[in-house]
Amino acid sequence: MNDGSYYDALETRNPAERERDLFGRLPAQLRHAKEKTAAYADLLADIDTDAIDDRAALAKLPVTRKSELSARQAAAPPFGGLVARPVSEVQKIFASPGPIYEPQTDRPDYWRLARALYAAGFRRGHVVHNTYAYHLTPAGSMLESGAFALGCAVIPAGVGQTELQVETIAAVRPHGYVGTPSFLKIILDKADELGRDLDSLVRASVSGEALPESLRAEMSNRGIEVLQTYATADLGLIAYESPAREGLIIDEDILVEIVRPGSGDPVADGEVGEVVVTTFNPDYPLVRFATGDLSAVLPGESPCGRTNRRVKGWMGRADQTAKVKGMFVRPEQVNAVAARHPEIERCRLVISRSGHQDVLTFRCTAAGAGDELKSALEHTVRELCKLRAEIVFVSGAELPNDGKVIDDTRTYD
């Protein structure tokens, strides 16, 4: 029974009932993927989809890796043969760093974000201040579609323009914020500087980067309860935090496995491994999609009453790919920077933290290092990685020849 605490009755159903429902639907979804997409016609060619009716059978299917999407899409543009509708029926096409192209169709709440927003306290009639990017990347549209499904109004704030964001919040007085946690702090600190009252903000749904407990506590002291959402542009919602704040609860419309990185073999509950997801999205029917993210299953059920399995949340990457300010940065992007500037002999993108902000430093050895090359590199990093970085020239001894292209040194407290 739903007393208003839950988005729907699915969240509190018996776990065995949920498992029967998902695996009862899975064969038809696999058959659909096989019939409607060129990629899965090939990948599942020798698979009897009707026999895939439990986790052991699912674990025998091939893995589709996010790290392979760019190559797949280059070979069969724009979506690598993974989308089940023609391009003419796709409503929006996004371009994430990689590049990776993602579809959005006219299916309501396409990414299923309404459930996560509801758990974070958003309700019909609320006004949502959405600071995710709307330009090419999908995050802004992802959260907006979820808010619309709830019956919320949305301020499409996007990123940057901090003073204008402060003035808009002060004037419109939205009920809550969605975006990265670090940008919420930037906005609130700017409001303090300007003497503006943003006390209408009492809730926030954040994603795109880690949420240190110290930052959550700071927001709570300001009267804002912050909960996390874990979603990707390919899969939509994967898991979300409830007010119990004990792990992230898996969405009701996907199957999640935790596997040994680099393989498709499930690990035991509690063991850290790579997050692999199978969706029931008929338009983009990804099967055993390996995200590259690390997590682990938590034992038991959430104290909030939701009965689905829980994961610990984002625990790092299975490869050198890193997420910075809500954007993925991949080794191939860093290598592309070096390829554009033949003066570079060796390079590494170092990610660190200062306060509650991510800091990028592009360290390199280069012939003819100087202000002109530094300026050119700043521009190239911004263009290819979609982020700003400080350029630091170092000696060969300061940059080990160990094959590491991205060095994520961040710690959180």
The CATH number of the domain holding residue 306 is 3.40.50.12780
Same domain, 172 and 58: yes
Task: Count CA within 13 A, CB hemisphere, residue 392.
Answer: 15
Q: Is residue 335 pLDDT above 90, yes or no?
A: no
**What is the structure's pLDDT at 1?**
41
Same domain, 301 and 362: no
Amino acid at 205: S
Select from 272, 304, 319 the last residue of a domain: 319
Token pair recorded at residue 159? 């990123």
Amino acid at 366: A
Measured between alpha carbons, how far is 263 from 240 in angstroms, rounded to an integer?
Answer: 26
Select from 269, 303, 319 the last residue of a domain: 319
Measured between alpha carbons, how far is 131 from 143 in angstroms, rounded to an integer?
Answer: 10
Q: Is residue 241 pLDDT above 90, yes or no?
A: yes
Domain interval for residue 182: 9-319
Same domain, 338 and 281: no
Instruction: Specify if 139 maps to a domain.
Output: yes
318 CB-near residues (< 8 Å, 6+ apart):
261, 262, 274, 290, 292, 293, 294
Name the pLDDT band for 322 (thresholds 50, 70, 90): confident
- Per-residue pLDDT tens digits for 47-96: 999 999 999 999 999 999 998 999 999 999 999 999 999 999 999 999 98
Token pair recorded at residue 178? 């969605």
Task: Count CA within 13 A, CB hemisphere, residue 307.
Answer: 12
Same domain, 87 and 204: yes
Token pair recorded at residue 341? 């500037």
Same domain, 234 and 371: no
Same domain, 242 and 362: no
Q: Is residue 263 pLDDT above 60, yes or no?
A: yes
Peptide bond into 78 cis (omega under 30): yes
Instruction: Specify if 373 maps to a domain.
Output: yes
Contact of 302 with 245, CB cutoff 8 Å: no
- Per-residue pLDDT tens digits for 115-160: 999 999 999 999 999 999 999 999 999 999 999 999 999 999 999 9
Q: Is residue 279 pLDDT above 80, yes or no?
A: yes
Instruction: Specify if 1 maps to a domain.
Output: no
- Per-residue pLDDT tens digits for 176-208: 999 999 999 999 999 999 999 999 999 999 998
Instruction: Specify if 404 maps to a domain.
Output: yes
Question: From start to end of 200-337, where are the E strands?
Answer: 203-206, 225-232, 236-241, 248-250, 254-259, 273-279, 289-295, 297-298, 310-311, 322-324, 327-329
Same domain, 72 and 199: yes
Whichever domain contains 366, its CATH number is 3.30.300.30
Same domain, 301 and 339: no
Contact of 353 with 313, CB cutoff 8 Å: no
Instruction: Specify if 3 maps to a domain.
Output: no
Name the pLDDT band for 356 (thresholds 50, 70, 90): confident
Contact of 289 with 238, CB cutoff 8 Å: no
Contact of 152 with 127, CB cutoff 8 Å: yes
Measure the CA angle with vertex 345, ends 344 and 346; round to 5°: 100
Q: Is residue 18 pLDDT above 80, yes or no?
A: yes
Measured between alpha carbons, how far is 83 from 78 in angstroms, rounded to an integer?
Answer: 9
Token pair recorded at residue 60? 């025998």
Select from 274, 290, 319 the last residue of a domain: 319
Sheet holding 390-393, edge to edge: 390-393, 357-366, 344-354, 406-408
Segment 36-44 shows an average pLDDT of: 97
**What is the sign of the dihedral through the CA atoms of 213, 216, 221 and 225?**
negative
Q: Is residue 2 pLDDT above 60, yes or no?
A: no
Give me the chain's average pLDDT, please.
93
Same domain, 388 and 368: yes
Contact of 254 with 279, CB cutoff 8 Å: yes
pTM score, two decimals?
Answer: 0.83
Same domain, 389 and 291: no
- Per-residue pLDDT tens digits for 369-400: 899 999 999 999 999 998 999 999 998 888 87
Same domain, 308 and 355: no
Count of structural domains within the chain:
2
Task: Count CA within 13 A, CB hemisphere, residue 139.
Answer: 25
Same domain, 372 and 307: no
DSSP 85-99: S-GGG-SEEEEETTT
CA-CA-CA-CA dihedral for 40, 45, 49, 53, to nearest 10: -80
Q: Is residue 331 pLDDT above 90, yes or no?
A: no
**What is the structure's pLDDT at 400?**
78
> Mapping DSSP to helix (H, G, I), strand (E, B) and coil, where does residue 283 land?
coil
